[in-house]
Amino acid sequence: MTLVVDKFRTLLPPRAKSSPSGWTSFNAPCCQHRGHSPDTRKRGGIRFDGDGIVYNCFNCKFSTDWQPGSPFGEKMKNLSRWLVAAEDDIKELIFESLKTEGPEYKPEQYQSKIEFTDKPLPEGSLSLKEWVEFGTDMPLEVVPVLEYVYNRGYDPLDGNFYWSPSSGYEQ
Ligand SMILES: [Zn+2]
């Protein structure tokens, strides 16, 4: 992940909502600056694609993106301002983008290390395999989970996927 992506993430509103498709949605900050009424239906979407950033507004149709090796463009700067970034933050984004344009830029240097910590499974967790064994008594909510895992190219019944009915783990 690039420092540009790391930095840009900090500008997103705290209540932005991520979905399994990879889009994070929040009230689009662009619309009211472009002659549209302010968005209240979380129609702004952002995706961090590899090392880059893709933004799309499904309300006023504003879109922009940034990829490593390219400058932090005017539209990205505007988007940052609309997300109430400080001018210093924007300078940093421009500067970090510039660094990705140089021949010495190696994406892997920026790869952040993910450290997994063991977390106890939420209450009532069973593997998808075990849920399926309930047959007709299986909670209906398990069905979209099975589909999701299957559509991602994994075998939902290999015992590695868990689902729990406890709240807070619904996605
Ligand atoms: Zn918009």
Q: Summarize pLDDT for 5-34 with one digit per residue, the tens.
A: 999 999 999 888 888 888 999 999 999 999
Mean pLDDT for 138-151 is 87
Q: How far is the CA of 69 from the centre of ligand 1 (A)?
A: 26
* Cα 163 to middle of ligand 1, angstroms: 36
Distance 89 CA to ligand 1 centre (A): 22
| Cα 63 to ligand 1 centroid, rounded to whole Å | 8
Alpha-carbon distance 39 to 33, whole Å? 11
In the reported structure, the alpha carbon of residue 7 is separated from the centroid of ligand 1 by a whole-number distance in angstroms of: 22
How far is the centre of ligand 1, averaged over its atoms, from the C-alpha of 68 (Å)? 24
pTM here? 0.62
Among 147, 151, 150, 146, CA closest to 127: 146
Higher pLDDT, 10 or 110: 10
Rounded to the nearest whole angstrom, what is the distance from the C-alpha of residue 35 to the centroid of ligand 1?
9
Distance 28 CA to ligand 1 centre (A): 5
Binning pLDDT at 50, 70 and 90, where does residue 171 land? very low
Q: Which long-range contacts (CB under 8 A, 24 or more apart) does 127-135 make?
A: 127/159, 127/160, 127/161, 127/162, 128/156, 128/157, 128/161, 128/162, 128/163, 129/156, 129/157, 129/158, 129/159, 131/163, 132/157
pLDDT digit string (tens) for 48-62? 977 899 999 999 999
Half-sphere exposure of 78 (CA within 13 A, CB side): 15
Residue 85 Cα, ligand 1 centroid: separation in angstroms?
17
Residue 137 reports pLDDT greater than 80: yes
* Cβ contact 18:24 at 8 Å: yes
Identify the residue whose tokens are 């399926």: 132
In the reported structure, the alpha carbon of residue 67 is separated from the centroid of ligand 1 by a whole-number distance in angstroms of: 21
CA of 43 to the centre of ligand 1 (A): 7
